[in-house]
């Protein structure tokens, strides 16, 4: 253990900085998710373009499995003859994909820190719009996991009909599998999933290329023994409403386009360039496969069915049966559908960490786990998605109506935010820079062209969102329409708690602390605030031999804490423990054990733990219970006493306006 010390003057408080030699022990977690990684290893655990495609594009690519089927499902209400409209509708969706790709290319370069629609809306449309975008995206990521896994299991059930009754159990098992792989880290999950992703791309291109060749040479027949299709006795006429309904269903093909813009920090440098190139690769693969599948599905007379997917019908028609090539195609499709959940497991924890850092979600979501990923966010996503699959019996058709509203709402807010950003840039004097929370604004000559592109994207995605709300409302979309405002209200309730907490702990106008009696004390601190100062007063009333201990996982935060300690530490020595693996309790326990080992006879070591008591009991869920953990860990250690110093947060303290 290395130690450095320094003084800021004869009367200044002594400060120590120590590097901890602690190595996390091997355990069942090491076997399951891998050895812990040091914070310094973070730059080495980013991904390149080829692995990035597997991590962030699988969601978008997987939608080729069900987008055409969803179009045909709507058109079937007008009769089989209406299926001919599927290809023109698919073409219109590909044009929307082009607009979104160009728009998100601009977002990637403008916001290299990632965050996607949430950051764009926060900087350009305000906090409320950002929370709506956050709620929409988080809902989208949860539904992406549920829909993609359920669709993957539907492919398995198409090949092996006996498994149809077990689709819920299989779906939950796949969710847990993808969750466990993601707990190992972004790079590891990308490497593991890269082979299945590229196998899917290769198998689908073989299928559609052979299908197109046979179609144009006249050797491609109709699908044999198609599933029975249930047509309504009163068929709907082919009108604008039906076409818009089918179009909105088919826009599931472009879901996932925003994923790369959310996960830019996971890419190697130059991050923006690598992310932008990966986005182009994804759009090219997605657009070409979607058009080819729609064309061939109409050509062979495929029908939408939950018993056998359109992809299964296409593959067995192209390959003349259920032979190895058919099974290979369905295996590739199943793999990409299961891996589509990986995109959400990469982006959901990052977005929830950003919102938590802004104070709109519980702070523990900002903590990285032993493998440098946001483990709590990954576990939360896996749990909620599993519950959703069980609730909807793993039915793709039942989940799809819930799926796309959140996606296109976030698209709309992102495009609207980028439109406003270009407007702000266009009104800046040349040479002037304006720093915002997520990016820096500089004048650009052709700002109006970029604003027009994002403006067009706003109109297109807003239209699709409105169509979805109208056409899918009675099918279950009302759940999302209600859920998003509820989530936003929850975000603001959490934010108010953290805001009130910061105000209650503020040192502004707090007054000078007093000095009392003497005792030997160790005082763990996480920050310098009113609760800390109250604990210092109590500790000094016990003894003049007081040591404050801070476990540092961020150098900048530690430096700021040391600066504030000079003013509020009453001359108490401060020891900073640098935690290499971002653990909080273990370094502190190691330091206490070291002091306790040299304890004199009849000497008592008192651990004084500052603890604020919130006004509502449920607020305790939003904070780490350090005092409880320490008490459990040191309960049987002789000569060590744990003392809590509660700081009660009673009345709400008004927030001071700054200006």
pLDDT at 278: 92
Q: At which of 495, 523, 538 does a domain end?
A: 495
pLDDT at 508: 76
Considering only residues 264 and 390, tell me which one the structure prediction assigns the higher pLDDT. Answer: 390
135 and 194 share one domain: yes
Considering only residues 80 and 139, tell me which one the structure prediction assigns the higher pLDDT. Answer: 139
**Distance spanning both ends of the chain, measured CA to CA:** 46
Give the single-character DSSP code of 267: B
pLDDT at 515: 43
- Mean pLDDT over residues 208-233, rounded? 84
- Encode pLDDT of 333-369 as tens digits: 888 877 778 888 888 888 899 899 999 999 989 887 7
d(CA 121, CA 640): 51
485 and 621 share one domain: no
Torsion of CA 66, 68, 69, 75, to 10 degrees: 150
pLDDT band at 41 (very low <50, low <70, confident <90, very high): low
pLDDT greater than 90 at residue 556: no
Using a pLDDT cut of 70, give the percent of the chain over it.
Answer: 87
pLDDT greater than 70 at residue 43: no
- Encode pLDDT of 59-100 as tens digits: 888 888 888 988 998 888 888 888 889 999 999 999 999 988
For residue 510, the tally of other CB atoms under 10 A from its CB is 13
pLDDT band at 657 (very low <50, low <70, confident <90, very high): very low
Retrieve residue 321's tokens.
């049966």
Per-residue 3-state assignment (H helix, E strand, C coil) for 124-190? HCCHHHHHHHHHHHHHHHHHHHHHHHHHHHHHHHHHCHHHHHHHHHHHHHHHHHHHHHHCCCHHHHH
CB 287 within 8 A of CB 47: no
pLDDT at 294: 94
482 and 536 share one domain: no
Q: Is residue 656 part of a domain?
A: no
pLDDT at 659: 35
- Mean pLDDT over residues 26-49, rounded? 61
Q: Count of domains in the chain?
A: 2
pLDDT at 356: 92
Q: At which of 426, 460, 495 does a domain end?
A: 495
Q: Is residue 655 part of a domain?
A: no
pLDDT band at 207 (very low <50, low <70, confident <90, very high): very high
The crossing angle, in degrees rounded to 10, of helices 396-426 and 477-505 is: 50
- Mean pLDDT over residues 102-112, rounded? 87
pLDDT band at 55 (very low <50, low <70, confident <90, very high): confident
What is the average pLDDT value for the chain, to the nearest integer?
83
d(CA 328, CA 336): 12
- Encode pLDDT of 391-437 as tens digits: 888 887 778 777 778 888 988 999 999 999 999 999 898 888 888 88
d(CA 149, CA 162): 18
Indicate the pTM of the whole model: 0.74
- Of 38-47, 284-293, 445-454, the range with the lowest mean pLDDT is 38-47
482 and 526 share one domain: no
- Of 221-225, 505-509, 578-582, the range with the lowest mean pLDDT is 505-509
pLDDT greater than 50 at residue 215: yes
Q: Is residue 500 part of a domain?
A: no
379 and 312 share one domain: yes
- Mean pLDDT over residues 438-466, rounded? 88
- Mean pLDDT over residues 490-516, rounded? 79
470 and 349 share one domain: yes
pLDDT greater than 60 at residue 146: yes
474 and 547 share one domain: no
pLDDT greater than 50 at residue 331: yes
pLDDT at 30: 61
Q: Is residue 224 part of a domain?
A: yes
458 and 584 share one domain: no
Domain range enclosing 523: 2-21+513-648
Could you tell me the CATH number of the domain that includes residue 427? 1.20.1740.10
Q: Is residue 504 part of a domain?
A: no
pLDDT greater than 90 at residue 384: yes
d(CA 643, CA 645): 7
Residue 47, SS3 per DSSP = strand
Q: Is residue 449 part of a domain?
A: yes
Considering only residues 509 and 122, tell me which one the structure prediction assigns the higher pLDDT. Answer: 122
pLDDT at 480: 86
Q: Is residue 238 part of a domain?
A: yes
d(CA 252, CA 67): 6
Could you tell me the CATH number of the domain that includes residue 565? 3.40.50.620
Range with top average pLDDT, 290-294, 577-581, 588-592: 290-294
Residue 521, SS3 per DSSP = strand
474 and 331 share one domain: yes
519 and 597 share one domain: yes
Q: Which residue has the tokens 């006879």?
A: 601
- Of 211-215, 419-423, 580-584, the range with the lowest mean pLDDT is 580-584
204 and 325 share one domain: yes
- Mean pLDDT over residues 287-299, rounded? 94
pLDDT band at 231 (very low <50, low <70, confident <90, very high): low
pLDDT at 194: 83
Phi-psi region of 503 (alpha: psi -120 to 50; beta: other; left: phi over 0): alpha
pLDDT greater than 80 at residue 235: no
524 and 467 share one domain: no
CB 99 within 8 A of CB 271: no
Considering only residues 5 and 495, tell me which one the structure prediction assigns the higher pLDDT. Answer: 495
- Report which of 147, 153, 151, 189 is spatially closest to residue 173, judged by C-alpha positions: 153
Torsion of CA 492, 403, 461, 273, to 10 degrees: 80
pLDDT at 38: 58
Q: Is residue 137 part of a domain?
A: yes
- Mean pLDDT over residues 161-177, rounded? 88
Using a pLDDT cut of 90, give the percent of the chain over it.
Answer: 26
């Amino acid at each position: 253990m290395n130690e450095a010390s320094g003084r800021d003057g004869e009367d200044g408080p002594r400060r120590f900085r120590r590097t901890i030699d602690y190595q996390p022990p091997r355990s069942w977690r090491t076997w399951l998710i891998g050895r812990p990684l040091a914070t310094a290893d973070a730059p080495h655990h980013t991904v390149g373009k080829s692995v990035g495609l597997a991590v962030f594009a699988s969601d978008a690519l997987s939608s080729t499995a069900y987008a055409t089927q969803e179009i045909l499902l709507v058109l079937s209400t007008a009769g089989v003859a209406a299926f001919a409209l599927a290809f023109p509708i698919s073409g219109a969706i590909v044009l929307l994909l082009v607009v979104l790709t160009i728009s998100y290319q601009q977002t990637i370069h403008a916001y290299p820190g990632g965050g996607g629609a949430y950051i764009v809306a926060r900087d350009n449309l305000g906090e409320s719009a950002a929370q709506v975008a956050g709620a929409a995206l988080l809902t989208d990521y949860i539904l992406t996991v549920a829909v993609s896994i359920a669709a993957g299991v539907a492919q398995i059930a198409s090949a092996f009909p006996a498994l149809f009754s077990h689709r819920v159990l299989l779906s939950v098992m796949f969710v847990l599998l993808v969750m466990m792989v993601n707990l190992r880290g972004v790079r590891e999950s990308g490497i593991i999933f890269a082979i299945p992703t590229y196998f899917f791309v290769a198998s689908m291109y073989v299928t559609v290329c052979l299908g197109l060749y046979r179609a144009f040479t006249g050797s491609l027949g109709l699908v044999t023994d198609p599933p029975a299709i249930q047509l309504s006795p009163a068929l709907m006429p082919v009108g604008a409403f039906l076409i818009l309904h089918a179009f909105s269903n088919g826009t599931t093909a472009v879901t996932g386009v925003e994923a790369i813009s959310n996960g830019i920090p996971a890419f190697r440098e130059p991050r923006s360039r690598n992310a932008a190139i990966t986005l182009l690769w994804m759009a090219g693969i997605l657009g070409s496969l979607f058009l080819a599948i729609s064309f061939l599905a109409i050509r062979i007379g495929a029908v939408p069915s939950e018993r056998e997917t359109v992809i299964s019908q296409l593959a067995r028609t192209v390959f003349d049966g259920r032979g190895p090539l058919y099974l290979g195609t369905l295996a590739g499709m199943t793999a990409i559908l299961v891996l589509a959940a990986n995109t959400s497991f990469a982006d959901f924890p990052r977005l929830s960490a950003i919102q938590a850092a802004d104070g709109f979600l519980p702070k523990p979501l900002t903590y990285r786990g032993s493998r440098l990923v946001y483990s709590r966010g990954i576990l939360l996503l896996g749990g909620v998605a599993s519950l959703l699959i069980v609730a909807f019996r793993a039915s793709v058709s039942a989940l799809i109506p819930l799926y796309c509203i959140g996606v296109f709402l976030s698209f709309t807010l992102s495009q609207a935010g980028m439109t406003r950003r270009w407007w702000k840039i266009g009104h800046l004097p040349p040479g002037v820079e304006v720093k915002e929370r997520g990016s820096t604004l500089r004048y650009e000559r052709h700002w109006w062209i970029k604003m027009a592109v994002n403006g067009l994207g706003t109109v297109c995605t807003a239209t699709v969102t409105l169509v979805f709300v109208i056409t899918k409302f009675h099918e279950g979309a009302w759940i999302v329409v209600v859920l998003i405002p509820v989530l936003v209200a929850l975000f603001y309730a959490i934010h108010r708690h953290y805001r009130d907490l910061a105000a209650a702990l503020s040192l502004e106008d707090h007054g000078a602390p007093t000095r009392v009696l003497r005792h030997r004390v160790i005082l763990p601190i996480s920050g310098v605030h009113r609760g800390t100062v109250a604990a210092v007063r109590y500790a000094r009333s016990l003894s003049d031999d007081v040591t404050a201990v801070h476990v540092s996982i961020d150098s900048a935060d530690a430096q700021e804490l040391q600066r504030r300690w000079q003013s509020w530490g009453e001359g108490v020595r401060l020891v900073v423990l640098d935690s290499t693996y971002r653990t909080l309790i273990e370094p502190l326990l190691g330091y206490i054990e070291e002091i306790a080992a040299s304890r004199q006879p009849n000497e008592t070591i008192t651990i004084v733990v500052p603890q604020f008591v919130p006004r509502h009991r449920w607020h305790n869920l939003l904070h780490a219970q350090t005092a409880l953990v320490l008490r459990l860990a040191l309960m049987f250690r002789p000569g060590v006493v744990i003392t809590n110093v509660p700081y009660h947060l009673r009345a709400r303290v008004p927030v001071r306006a700054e200006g």
